[in-house]
Amino acid sequence: MGRILGIDLGTTNSVMAVMEKNGAVIVPNSLGERITPSVVGFTKSGEILVGKKAKRAAIMNVGRTVFSIKRHMGTNYRVRIEGKEYTPQEISAMILQKLKQDAEDYYGEEVNQAIICCPAYFTDAQRQATKDAGEIAGLKVRRIIDEPTSSSLAYGMDKGEDQVILVYDFGGGTFDVSIIEVVSGVFQVLAIQGNTHLGGDDFDKRIVEFLVDEFKKAHGIDLSEDPIAMQRLKEAAEEAKIELSEVKESHILVEAITMTEKGPLSLDYTMTRQKLESLVMDLIELTRSPVNQAIEDAALSLDKIDTILLVGGTTRIPAVQRLVKEITKKESRRDISPEEVVALGGAVQSLALAPIEGDIEDTLAARYGREKPVVIHMTPFSLGVGLEHDQYSVIIERNSTYPTEAKDIFTTTRDFQEAISFPIYEGEEQIASENTFLDLLRIEGITPAPRGVPRVEVTFRLNPDRILEARAEDLATGVEKKITIAATDARLSESEKQRMVKEAKDRVSSMLRDRIQENRVEEAQSILSRAEGVLTSHSGHPMVSSLKTKTNELRTLMQEGGDEKKLGETLDEVNRLVTIMETAAG
């Protein structure tokens, strides 16, 4: 069956994990690091950088570097680079493709399956866009799983005890809170709340705005008008935020951030933890209401919640930890890295999707007391259709477990009507248009009859990825219409998706060719160094002339970028001559 990656496709950073014999483990990237920045950069030469390389080069690629694309998933947002537009799915696919390639390099084999984790409060369109991104990257997406649920798998299964878990997940761009009950190894989601537009990025923005204001007061210069200065400030703000989770003061120094007639000016400011908290406390407070609402939705009192899990890098901030303790009256668990726990849980979830080798299965059964995890998910939004006079008819209720199916019967409002359109919405408002519009389900070919006579059955099915499939059927004729929902503005056509898949494959092929070329160049440089040593120490050898000719030919091929076959043949010949001369000398 092959390995299945558990992937936390994060706003700020992404992480991948797999299930091994002794449990879930993090898979390092090509730099040997456990976390990969979710950053994509486009150089002037046309190279696409992903991860740490893209983040480091951001100052040189201002206007050509993409951060926090996850915030735009499921929307019609486009990134425009050098005249070409990229969808959020394409940019996300580049990040996923990087993770896939790094995993393949690490294991030395193809890795083409994944469970991708996303915020529990992601809408149907955002989940579909996430799945599309995985498919564009060349991954078979086995499941889209909620991040809080994934986190509880990483924690809860190790303990093997019944408990109620509150997962407070505060990442770079999103906030979720889920309450999950674990009974005999079965994980049932009881409540979900959140905010898909609140995260650590907002904290960074507050720090940057403050520093811009302070600099303007001191020097009369508005740094916000300088893109390069703003990128440098953004990096400095993020570093200060992270540092202030551990210490009480952070010295922010950005040298020569701008030029004046008198020379360069630097930004120099010492930020205290107290000052940071004053800048962001209102953002932290925005998480209080969702937590309280989730507890109310779960119909639980605080004393019934056994475990509080903190997930996401933003939970490292002491003020966040204090707020959670104030609300829950309990200490939180942080014994698994908040940046890694989601991916680890995704790897655990892979046990439910594929057969595993016997020795691994035996070990896991002994460790967990069962072979595979069982998760009962819940949707945080109601799903329904809009009717005449902007009425909203809910078909799948909020907090329903899924996968699930529900249906209702509707009829015509005009005599001899031959078609009915059902606008599909997601939300809790009684007025249909005040909810989030997802798509339009239209059935044609209804047998003409007086109004109120035709009976059209509308069926909603939430699949295991919590992606909505809708069907309308005229019960008299059997005529039906089916659609899989995606936000109209964000939907990719099949031809668009195939184009993106092809471009992604071409990028991988190009990357592999470049990697082979780099290895060839390194090998050639090493051989040339050996050849120079042999020519110096064995100038009287009869093969000196042949070696000089071939080394000069090799240098020319390297400089001119000669064809791969010729380069390889020449490299082999130089290596052969050097080896003969070294052996003879020995």
| pLDDT at res. 507 | 66
Straight-line distance from the first to the last Cα atom of the chain, in angstroms, rounded to the nearest whole number: 51
Structure tokens that stand for 49 in this block: 């950088």
| pLDDT at res. 333 | 86
Q: Which helix (H) or strand (E) holds 41?
A: strand 40-42
| pLDDT at res. 552 | 83
| pLDDT at res. 1 | 56
- Exposed/middle/buried for 456, CB within 10 Å: 0-12, 13-18, 19+? buried
| pLDDT at res. 354 | 59
Low-confidence ranges of the chain (pLDDT < 50): 158, 356-360, 363, 365-370, 487-488
* Prediction pTM value: 0.79
| pLDDT at res. 178 | 92
Helix%, strand%, coil% for the chain, nearest 5: 40, 30, 30
| pLDDT at res. 277 | 96
Residues marked active site are found at: 8, 70, 147, 169
CA 107/CA 42 separation, integer angstroms: 28
| pLDDT at res. 2 | 79
* C-alpha angle 197-203-209 in degrees, rounded to nearest 5: 110
Tell me: the pLDDT tens digits for 446-485? 989 999 999 999 999 998 888 899 999 999 999 999 887 7
| pLDDT at res. 370 | 47
**374-378 and 186-195 as β-strands: parallel, antiparallel, unpaired?**
parallel
| pLDDT at res. 431 | 93
Beta carbons within 8 Å of 518's beta carbon, 6+ residues apart: none
Task: Decide: 275 and 282 in contact? Cβ < 8 Å.
Answer: no
**4-8 and 113-118 as β-strands: parallel, antiparallel, unpaired?**
parallel
| pLDDT at res. 486 | 54
| pLDDT at res. 511 | 61
Tell me: the pLDDT tens digits for 316-344? 999 999 999 999 999 998 888 999 999 99
CA 581/CA 586 separation, integer angstroms: 9
